[in-house]
Amino acid sequence: MQSPCLKEVSEVCLSSCCSAPLFKLSAHHDAMPKSRSTSAACRRDFAATTSSSIFPNIQFTNHESLPSLQESFSDFTKVYPRYQETAQVDQIRAQEYYHLSQSNHTCLDYIGIGLFSSSQLHKQESSSQLNSDFPFFSISYKTGNLKTQLLHGGQESALESAMRNRIMDFLNISANDYSMVFTANRTSAFKLVAESYPYKTSRKLLTVYDYESEAVEGMIINSEKRGAKVMSAEFSWPRLRIQSAKLRKMVVSKRKKKKKRGLFVFPVHSRITGSRYPYVWMTMAQENGWHVLVDACALGPKDMDSFGLSLFQPDFLISSFYKIYGENPSGFACLFVKKSAISSLESSTSTGIVNLVPAKKLLQIAGDSSGTDTELEQISRLGLQLDALGTASSFSGLISNHTTQTRRLEREGYESTEEGANRTGLETSEIWESETQANLIKDKNSRSSRNGDSLEVVCRGLDQVDSLGLMMITNRARYLINWLVSSLRKLKHPNTEGFPLVKIYGPKIKFDRGPALAFNVFDWKGEKVEPVLVQKLADRNNISLSYGFLHHIWFSDKYAEEKGRILDRREGGVKGMDANKLKAKSDLGISVVTAALGFLASFEDTYRLWAFVAQFLDADFVEKERWRYTALNQKTIEV
């Protein structure tokens, strides 16, 4: 076991690693090996400290033997003393998102970036009859040509202009280099690219995803219809790292003559397993004639600060935003297209581009007989959406009606904001009163204006992230996710074999893993508990989880015998895809439970998940919960 003194040294080393820039250009090349050596040592020290210091030499075989929250937190801060430096996050959570503590709700299914805070909305309740589920704006669909929209834009409201400027400032994206459109969700953004990309001259589509993604699958379907040749990276079992030799063979061109080969879709890291992928793949793709699409939806809220956008300059970038963490998951996505790449797109009339509109304006149009057919159509849709709001399922977990409807991680049709789980419909339109509008849009006297605009949108969620900074957010997430991974691995069934309760997929304890986790729970006989049941039981305990499907897994000869036991066949396959070897192969994978830590996640959130999972050490736990569901006239899930 490492000494407390060594743990302190590791923390100092960790801090210096985190503060170092991602890319350093220096004339002193001899300094680079030393820098790399120091960085590698920091990562090794962090992993070793975490492994040896969290519940050392202890295995928990009974959920009642777990230490208390207070005791666990005390031990946690001894291992990670610098966690105390992130107390500002807890203050923001208590003051701006107090609904989380009032409802005792743990949100572990949010992926994306939050725009507003809960208190920002609820300040309007005293002067308004509106329910708290109604946030600050609505979206209105429009049919149009992506290429034309990017080249010439369109009539833009003050709200849209202000929101566009705020988002581009937040993501450090220059309007001189990129054009942007708002889309209904991540799926819509991928679909727009697929329907406009020039597959006649650049035929290939190469994706790098270790999990089933409806956004990517939708892109594949549309791309195949237009003649694209589809390829996918594979991930080596058991660590689920990119199978580098195979991907390099697909990326690198043997031809000396350079021409655009196709579209390389790169997610930076997995939103399911937390695996981070080397940026060198983007560089390699660009050097070999690929257009590059960066999926930034799984990045942390400040990760774009260290992404190196000016260095890589991808042709396309997609990011997504939701409204309020833990309360309203609806929102929109943003599709950024490099201006030099717009001319290569083909003209195509598509759906998915949206306008941001105050719902009050839509309601005024509905009452005005002079409204156009399109406008009245939108109002008709608005009415239907409002009717459905009370029964909508939420990506964030429990909303106002505390629905227990399953939120599957990857179900993200037009009704979902974020590919990753079931969410309240993106096109769910909400009303705002003039007081709310006044709270959101104000004179631009506190921030420099862009393009002469005189209004700005007050996005308190973005402002809070800016105030915290990259280092604080990253360090906090690193401490929490690694403690959770280490603690889950300490849970063992009380039989002679000591069979692990939890199997974690992808990276385990690791300095630079992402704040997402894919895992499964196994009973004392070694049989997997269905992820949907785990998710439902967590929901009953006021913990919002999701579940997904890992695929494109490659097994070496060493693990050939395990392959048959590990892989599941996805029921129904991929909708809309023709049967062939590639699609049949993608139907094999592993269904998993998923948890994602947002920047507001606390130690109590991770402890509550750990304590919940530990209940499965009780052999009767699943049967008792199934009986409860039956007694409450809820649908029974069979394992």
In this structure, what CATH number is given to the domain that contains residue 49?
A: 3.90.1150.10
Cα–Cα dist 515/273, whole Å? 9
Q: Give the tens place of pLDDT for each residue, 328-345.
A: 888 999 999 999 999 999
Structure tokens at 122: 């609820």
Question: Which residue's structure tokens are 């006649």?
Answer: 200
Q: What is the mean pLDDT of residues 4-15?
A: 42
Same domain (yes/no): 483, 618: yes
Same domain (yes/no): 539, 589: yes
Q: Give the tens place of pLDDT for each residue, 41-76.
A: 888 999 999 999 999 999 999 999 999 999 999 999
**Helical residues (DSSP H) of 279-372, grouped into ranges:** 280-287, 309-312, 339-342, 359-366
What one-letter code names the amino acid at 462? Answer: L
Same domain (yes/no): 141, 100: no
pLDDT at 134: 43
Cα–Cα dist 546/534, whole Å? 9
Cα–Cα dist 592/546, whole Å? 9
| Percentages of the chain per state (helix, strand, coil), in multiples of 5 | 40, 20, 40
Beta carbons within 10 angstroms of residue 390's beta carbon:
12
Cα–Cα dist 141/332, whole Å? 11
Taking CA atoms, 178 is separated from 113, 150, 168, 311, 625, in Å, by 20, 9, 9, 14, 52
| DSSP per position, 133-155 | T--S-EEEE--EEHHHHHHH---
Cα–Cα dist 167/179, whole Å? 12
Given a cut of 60, whether residue 507 has pLDDT beyond it is yes
Same domain (yes/no): 277, 321: yes
pLDDT at 90: 97
Residue 132 lies in a domain: no
Cα–Cα dist 578/118, whole Å? 45
Between 299-303, 428-432, 490-494, 498-502, the lowest mean confidence (pLDDT) is in: 428-432
Structure tokens at 401: 């009606």
Domain total in the chain = 2
Given a cut of 80, whether residue 318 has pLDDT beyond it is yes
Strand, coil or helix: what is 6? Answer: helix
pLDDT, the chain, mean: 79
> Considering 331, 362, 393, which residue would you say is the last residue of a domain?
362
Residues contacting residue 534 through CB under 8 Å, at least 6 positions apart: 520, 521, 545, 547, 593
- Could you tell me the pLDDT band of residue 256, with boundaries at 50, 70 and 90? low
Q: What is the mean pLDDT of residues 104-121?
A: 91
The torsion angles phi and psi of 439, rounded to 5 degrees, stand at -75, -25
What one-letter code names the amino acid at 624? Answer: K
Percentage of residues in the chain having pLDDT higher than 90: 59
pLDDT at 29: 37
Residue 370 lies in a domain: no
Residues contacting residue 582 through CB under 8 Å, at least 6 positions apart: 230, 232
Same domain (yes/no): 106, 184: no
> Considering 301, 332, 362, which residue would you say is the last residue of a domain?
362
Same domain (yes/no): 174, 97: no
Cα–Cα dist 446/448, whole Å? 7
pLDDT at 430: 32
Same domain (yes/no): 207, 252: yes
User: Domain span at residue 180?
Assistant: 137-362
Same domain (yes/no): 98, 176: no
pLDDT at 1: 40
Between 22-36, 79-93, 187-201, 406-420, the lowest mean confidence (pLDDT) is in: 406-420
Q: Are 411 and 550 in contact (CB under 8 A)?
A: no
Given a cut of 60, whether residue 445 has pLDDT beyond it is no
> Considering 309, 340, 362, which residue would you say is the last residue of a domain?
362
- Could you tell me the pLDDT band of residue 286, with boundaries at 50, 70 and 90? very high
Same domain (yes/no): 217, 292: yes
Q: Report helix angle 69-79 to 603-614, nearest 10.
A: 120
Residue 396 lies in a domain: no
Q: List beta partners, residue 491.
A: 60
pLDDT at 440: 45
Between 154-158, 219-223, 275-279, 380-384, the lowest mean confidence (pLDDT) is in: 380-384
Cα–Cα dist 613/607, whole Å? 10
Given a cut of 60, whether residue 4 has pLDDT beyond it is no
Given a cut of 70, whether residue 107 has pLDDT beyond it is yes
| DSSP per position, 88-132 | HHHHHHHHH-THHHHTT-EE-B--SEEEE-HHHHHTTGGG----T
Same domain (yes/no): 150, 110: no
The torsion angles phi and psi of 413, rounded to 5 degrees, stand at -70, -160
Q: Give me the CATH number covering residue 233.
A: 3.40.640.10
- Could you tell me the pLDDT band of residue 257, with boundaries at 50, 70 and 90? low
- Could you tell me the pLDDT band of residue 3, with boundaries at 50, 70 and 90? very low
Same domain (yes/no): 255, 286: yes
Same domain (yes/no): 144, 113: no
Q: Give the tens place of pLDDT for each residue, 570-627.
A: 765 544 444 454 555 568 999 999 999 999 999 999 999 999 999 999 988 877 876 7
Q: What is the mean pLDDT of residues 168-173?
A: 96
